[in-house]
Structure 1
Amino acid sequence: MPAVSDLTSHTGYLLRMVSNAVSQEFARKVRDKGVTVAEWAMLRCLYGTGAIAPSALARKMGMTKGAISKLADRLLEKGLIERTGNPEDKRGHSLSLSVAGANKVPILAGLADENDAAFFAFLSGDEHERLRGLLHTLIHKNGLSIVPVD
């Protein structure tokens, strides 16, 4: 049989292992607050932006309009966002945070901060900043712009 590299020799595998651990713990924390990670990402993207068309939000998040529509429906049902009509285009509408949604974002952001702090506590401040810098370099050099929601 030909020699095959070990899984842990692949940087992508290691990144996925770390990402899964961080993401799964965060998913549990936000689920306890009544939202999914995808819903949190949408709430955070809406925070501070005012009303935005679903198509613009889809571009911002790197998602399809259909996926945005499904997320919006769930968040509307939870009372965390609002849908307003467009007086210039009777078919168009905009999405924005409701008061409840705007109040929830800082709480969820605090959970994200706590989750990162707990997971990356083993790194010194300099190591953590180097890791973040390397990840930003990879994101930039690979042209990544999609908001991860899974």
Structure 2
Amino acid sequence: MAQTPKSVSRLESHLGYWLRFVSNHVSHSFMQKVESRGVTVAEWVVLRELLEGGEMRPSDLAQKIGMTRGAISKLVERLCVKKLVARQASSSDGRVQQIELTAQGKRLVPMLAKLADENDQQFFGHLTSEERQMLHGLLQSLVKTHGWKELPVE
């Protein structure tokens, strides 16, 4: 068996390795949970943003979550087919489209949010409140330091 030179760091010595390890498991678990309810993680992000922001233009939603207009259009179309989102012409300018959650979408979002809460509890529930706050703060600091804006949808 070949020996690794001491100057080559081990995979396990990298924070990125551990972040990816944890992220993969947490994300995969959540993906399975929301897909069991008929939506993708990207669709969940759109639904959650519409619940908070109310009726808006697709271009505003795209900017808010850091996606292209084309990607948002595809997601909105899928959500319209699923009757979770409705699209209509703006009352002030018929050329502009507005999107909003349907009644069915408004009922689904809290159920999906509960799945997100349960997923967090499953993976991070063993941490103390202080440890969770510290981890949350450290991750937010990384996002802020690097100026990341796009919401994680995959």
TMscore range, shorter length = over 0.9
- Give the CA deviation at 1:27: 0.4
- 1:121-136 to 2 correspondence within 5 Å? 121-136=125-140
Letter in 1 for 2:153: V
Deviation string, structure 1 residues 37-79 (Cα, Å, up to 9, x no partner):
0000000011132211111000000000000001001100000
Query: Offset at 1:87?
Result: 3.5
Q: Secondary structure at the match of 2:19?
A: helix
Q: Residue 122 of structure 1: CA displacement?
A: 2.3
More moved, 26-35 vs 86-95? 86-95
Q: Report the equivalent of 2:57.
A: 53
Partner of 1:144: 148
CA deviations over 1:66-124 (Å, ceiling 9, x no partner): 00001001100000001010244333201110010011111000000000011112211
1:28 aligned to which of 29, 32, 35: 32
Q: Distance in 2 between matches of 1:49 and 1:81?
A: 13
Q: Runs of 5+ in structure 2 lacking a partner?
A: none
Question: Which 4+ stretches in 1 moved above 6 angstroms?
Answer: none
Question: Where does residue 64 of structure 1 map in the other structure?
Answer: 68
CA distance in 2, matches of 1:30, 1:123: 24
Mapping of residues 38-49 of structure 1, within 5 Å? 38-49=42-53
Please, which of 76, 84, 88 is the counterpart of residue 84 of structure 1? 88
Letter in structure 1 aligned against 2:27: S
Structure 1 residue ranges without an equivalent (≥5): none
Larger radius of gyration: 2
User: Would you say 1:107 and 2:111 are equivalent positions?
Assistant: yes
**How far is 1:12 from its partner?**
1.5
- CA RMSD in angstroms, aligned pairs only: 1.3
Q: Does 1:119 align with 2:123?
A: yes
Identity of aligned residues (%): 49
